Structure 1
Amino acid sequence: MRKFASTLLVFALMLSFSSNAFAAKGVGDNHESAITLFPKNTVNLYVEDSTDKDWFTWTNNTGKMQKFTAWAHPKDDWKNFRLAFQIEYSDNTKTRLLYANYNIGPLQSIDNIYIPNGAKLYLLIEKVNNSMSQYSLNFDVNDI
C-alpha cells in the first residue's frame, strides 16, 4: 500500500508540473542559475515570453586562451529573438552585455571572441514579444 501511495504521489506531482520545464521561468533566468554549456553541443529549449531570459555559461579552465563561436537559430517566430554575450574575467570585472546583432533575425551568431583562461562566458537568449518559441543554441570553442 505504501508503494502505491508513493507512486500515486509521484504521478500527481508530474501532472501538476505538466507545462514544459524548459520554458519555465526560473530555469537559467540569471547568472546564478545559468545553464552550463559544453563545447560542440547543441541545446534545444524554449523561451516563454519577453520576460523570460535564458542564460548559459562556460568557464575557460583549459589553461590557455580560447576563442568561442555561438549561434542561435529559432525554430519559429525568428523575428523576435536576440543572442548576447558577456565575459566575466578572473579579477571579477565584466564586459557589458554585447548583442550579436542589434536587430532581430533568423540567425544570431557570435564568433572569434577570445576568452582568457579563468574567464567565464555568459550567453543570453531573449525574445522581444510575448509568445513561447523553441530555439537551438550551438556553442563551440577552439584553441588559438
Structure 2
Amino acid sequence: MKLKQICIAVLIIALLSIPQSAFALRTVGDTQADAVYFLTDQYTDLILSDSADVDWFKWDNYTGEDRRVTTFLAMLSGTGIYKMGIKIKYSNGIESSLMYSDLYMFGSSSFSNIYVPAGATVYLKIDAVNFVSMYDYYRMFFTHSSI
C-alpha cells in the first residue's frame, strides 16, 4: 500500500514540474472559443509555435463585484516581437472590439485599469508582429483588483 502511495506522489510531483510552456501546443487556446483560463497573480511563460499561431486566454469575473484588470506582456528570449489584444464579453452577450496595446521597449506591452463589470469575461490574444523562432518565450502577467 505504501508503494502505491509513493508512486502516486512521484507521479503528481512529475506532472506538476512540467513547465507551463510544454502546454503551448497548436490547437490549445488558438481561438477565442478555446481560450485558456488565466492563472491570476502569477507569471505565465509560453511560446508561439509558428507565425500563424496565436494564444487566447480568458478570465470570468464571477467575483460578484466590478473589477479592474491589469495585464503585462514581455519577451523573455529571442528577437521576436509579440503583441497583446484585449476584448470584453459582457453578461448580456455584447462583445467589445479587440483592442491592441502599444508596443514598448523590447516588445513589451500592457493594459492597466481596464474596467470589467461583474459577470463579464475578459479575453487576451497574443500574436506575433515579428515571429522569429518557436524558442522566443514570452511572459504574461494578469491580475485584477477592486474598483
Alignment TM-score, normalising by the size of structure 1: 0.79
What is the rounded CA distance, in whole Å, between the counterparts of 1:78 and 1:110 in structure 2? 22
Superposition pairs for residues 63-142 of structure 1, below 5 Å?
A: 63-77=64-78, 80-101=81-102, 105-130=106-131, 131-132=133-134, 133-142=136-145
Give, as a single letter, the amino acid of the residue that structure 1 aligns with 2:145: N
What is the rounded CA distance, in whole Å, between the counterparts of 2:77 and 2:128 in structure 1? 12
What fraction of aligned residue pairs are identical, expressed as a percent? 33
Partner of 2:40, secondary structure, is coil
- Counterparts in 2 of 1:103 and 1:72: CA distance versus 1, 3 Å: closer
Give, as a single letter, the amino acid of the residue that structure 1 aligns with 2:98: L
- Counterparts in 2 of 1:94 and 1:39: CA distance versus 1, 3 Å: same
Partner of 1:32, secondary structure, is helix
CA-based RMSD of the aligned residues comes to 1.9
What is the rounded CA distance, in whole Å, between the counterparts of 2:125 and 2:145 in structure 1? 20
Runs ≥4 residues deviating over 4 A? 102-105
Shift of 1:105: 4.7
Give, as a single letter, the amino acid of the residue that structure 1 aligns with 2:74: H
Partner of 1:114, secondary structure, is strand
Partner of 2:127, secondary structure, is strand
Shift of 1:135: 0.8
- Per the alignment, residue 5 of structure 1 pairs with none
- Counterparts in 2 of 1:104 and 1:89: CA distance versus 1, 3 Å: farther
Partner of 1:128, secondary structure, is strand
Q: Say if 2:68 and 2:146, in contact at 8 Å, map to a contact too.
A: yes
After superposition, give the CA deviation of every residue in 1:34-72 in whole Å (9 maximum; x if it has no partner). 110132111111111221000000000011100000001
Partner of 1:26, secondary structure, is coil
Name the stretch that deviates more: 102-111 or 133-142: 102-111
Count how many residue pairs are aligned between Structure 1 and Structure 2. Answer: 125
Q: Say if 2:83 and 2:107, in contact at 8 Å, map to a contact too.
A: no
